[in-house]
Amino acid sequence: MPHFVKMATLDELPPGSAKEVEHEGRVYALFNVGGTLSAIDGICPHQGGPLAEGLVEGTMVTCPWHGWQFDLRTGAMPTSARIKQSVYEVKVRVRTSWWPSRDLDGARPRGRGHPPPEMK
Ligand code: FES
């Protein structure tokens, strides 16, 4: 079972952006491509380029140093079947607060535009 850690908030990674995150000595490249989130090993296997700074077109990221390309969905390199970047599962956890629809005495909250009961 994979272990998940918080890497970024959705505010920090809006659609069309990327972010490099270090966690426990490893570097991850996070991408938001049109609302689809991806996480891959952030260090290019060629000579260590920062993949989070690469150009993203479709599902491909191009390393900014020498142009190696990786598919964000699979980590595969289209020009070499032997080289594959690690890809990590992403989970989005939305924190939702649940509030009672009635107070402890059973009264419902007033709606905007409705006069309080004592004004009727
Ligand atoms: S370091 Fe990425 S292509 Fe060379």
70 CB near ligand 1 (under 6 Å): no
Q: What is the CATH number of the domain that holds 65?
A: 2.102.10.10
Residue 1 DSSP symbol: -
Residue 64, domain member (yes or no): yes
Residue 80, domain member (yes or no): yes
How many structural domains comprise the chain? Answer: 1
pLDDT over 90 for what percent of the chain?
71
65 CB near ligand 1 (under 6 Å): yes
What is d(CA 83, CA 85) in angstroms, rounded to the nearest whole number? 7
Residue 97, domain member (yes or no): no
State the pTM of this model.
0.79
Which tokens hold the place of 11? 């505010």
Residue 120, domain member (yes or no): no
User: Which atom of ligand 1 is closest in space to residue 48's alpha carbon?
Assistant: 1
pLDDT score of 107: 75
pLDDT score of 104: 75
What is d(CA 79, CA 4) in angstroms, rounded to the nearest whole number? 31
84 Cα to the center of ligand 1, angstroms: 13
Residue 1, domain member (yes or no): no
User: Which atom of ligand 1 is closest in space to residue 47's alpha carbon?
Assistant: 1
Coil, strand or helix: which one is 41? strand
pLDDT over 70 for what percent of the chain?
88
35 Cα to the center of ligand 1, angstroms: 26
What is d(CA 108, CA 44) in angstroms, rounded to the nearest whole number? 57
Residue 9, domain member (yes or no): no
Residue 113, domain member (yes or no): no
Residue 2, domain member (yes or no): no
Q: How many CB atoms lie within 10 A of CB 84?
A: 15
pLDDT score of 105: 77
Determine the average pLDDT of the residues in 14-28.
94
Q: What domain range includes position 68?
A: 17-88
What is d(CA 108, CA 25) in angstroms, rounded to the nearest whole number? 52
pLDDT score of 1: 73
Residue 120: band (very low, low, confident or very high) from pLDDT cuts 50, 70, 90: very low
pLDDT by residue (tens digit) across 59-107?
999 999 999 999 999 999 999 999 999 999 999 988 767 777 777 777 7
